[in-house]
Amino acid sequence: MSTASDASFWDRSSQKYAKSPISDQAGYECTLERTRALLKPDDRVLELGCGTGTTALRLASEVESYLATDISSGMIAIAEEKRTASPIAGLAFRAATAEALASEPARFDAVLGFNYLHLVRDLPGTLRSIHTLLAPGGLFISKTACLGDMNLLIRLALPLARAIGKAPYVSVFRAPDLKQLISAAGFEILNTESHASRGKDSRPFIMARRN
Ligand SMILES: C[S@@+](CC[C@H](N)C(=O)[O-])C[C@H]1O[C@@H](n2cnc3c(N)ncnc32)[C@H](O)[C@@H]1O
């Protein structure tokens, strides 16, 4: 199993993902609001794991430039259709990973990753790439499912779902482990928030600054 198989899993899921409703709309609006408050009009923003571009289309008009990326070209094709229907100056979509982007010269004032970090295969390596992608002092803003803090049943069901191709590659970690990895990659954690509008929140919203 590899990033190529991850891309094809998400390609196969893209049409269904595009049609599924946001599970916690109030929590999502809170995340958008907090993110918007951290961005400045002259920021160059990179979003990783952007899916079908819902967040990019909501935030891009408020910054200088916004590059929204995803491993899945299927997801990006749907995002492009939405952008064509509602064009926004400065917004671009591209199929790419953090590792590929880090080998290019472009640097960003903010990197965003929502519902994404638990899906990468080499989390410390991806966090180092994100550090490389940011200008000094740049912000890394993320919200991530911490499966180690979730119900045991979910954790037990995952390997079975993966075995029959119904779930993607997922890393299991707890929120303190994630924060430790972000710090170890060269970030100062500025704040951690909970945005779930109901139930226990196992998806911390973490704001970090590149040292
Ligand atoms: C759960 S969806 C989240 C999409 C969007 N950020 C949101 O919050 O709705 C996860 C996305 O991450 C993408 N993804 C998975 N692994 C990735 C990787 N290694 N690099 C970039 N994107 C990845 C998938 O293709 C998918 O679009």
Q: Where do the domains of the chain lie?
A: 3-210
CA-CA distance, 30 to 35, in Å (whole number)?
9
Q: If 0-12 CB within 10 Å is exposed, 13-18 middle and 19+ buried, where does residue 185 land?
A: buried
Residue nearest to atom 19 of ligand 1 (CA): 120
Using the atom order of ligand 1, give the atom closest to the CA of residue 70: 22
Using the atom order of ligand 1, give the atom closest to the CA of residue 121: 19
Q: What is the pLDDT at residue 102?
A: 98
Q: Please, are residues 210 and 186 in contact by the beta-carbon 8 Å criterion?
A: yes
Which of 3, 22, 116 maximizes ligand 1 atoms within 8 Å of its Cβ, making it the mutation to test the pocket? 116
| Residue 118 CA, ligand 1 centroid: distance in Å | 9
CA-CA distance, 117 to 124, in Å (whole number)?
10
Residue ranges in the chain whose pLDDT is less than 70: 1
CA-CA distance, 210 to 25, in Å (whole number)?
30
| Residue 27 CA, ligand 1 centroid: distance in Å | 18
| Residue 113 CA, ligand 1 centroid: distance in Å | 8
Tokens read off for 138:
């740049």
Amino acid (one-letter) located at 7: A
Q: Which of 181, 180, 204 is nearest to 125 (CA)?
A: 181
| Residue 5 CA, ligand 1 centroid: distance in Å | 13
Q: What is the pLDDT at residue 155?
A: 85
Amino acid (one-letter) located at 55: T
| Residue 190 CA, ligand 1 centroid: distance in Å | 24
Q: Which CATH class is domain 3-210?
A: alpha beta
pLDDT tens digit string along 147-157?
999 988 888 89
CA-CA distance, 179 to 47, in Å (whole number)?
19
Measured from CB, residues less than 6 Å from any atom of ligand 1 are 3, 6, 10, 48-51, 54, 70-72, 75, 97, 114-116, 119-120
Q: CA triplet 177, 97, 126: central angle to 5 degrees? A: 25
Q: pTM (2 decimals)?
A: 0.97
| Residue 71 CA, ligand 1 centroid: distance in Å | 7
Using the atom order of ligand 1, give the atom closest to the CA of residue 51: 27
CA-CA distance, 79 to 188, in Å (whole number)?
32
CA-CA distance, 209 to 39, in Å (whole number)?
13
Q: If 0-12 CB within 10 Å is exposed, 13-18 middle and 19+ buried, where does residue 41 land?
A: exposed
Q: Please, are residues 210 and 131 in contact by the beta-carbon 8 Å criterion?
A: yes
Q: What is the pLDDT at residue 135?
A: 98
Q: What is the pLDDT at residue 1?
A: 56
Please give the DSSP secondary-structure letter assigned to residue 199.
S
> 51 vs 105, 121, 204, CA distance in Å?
24, 17, 19
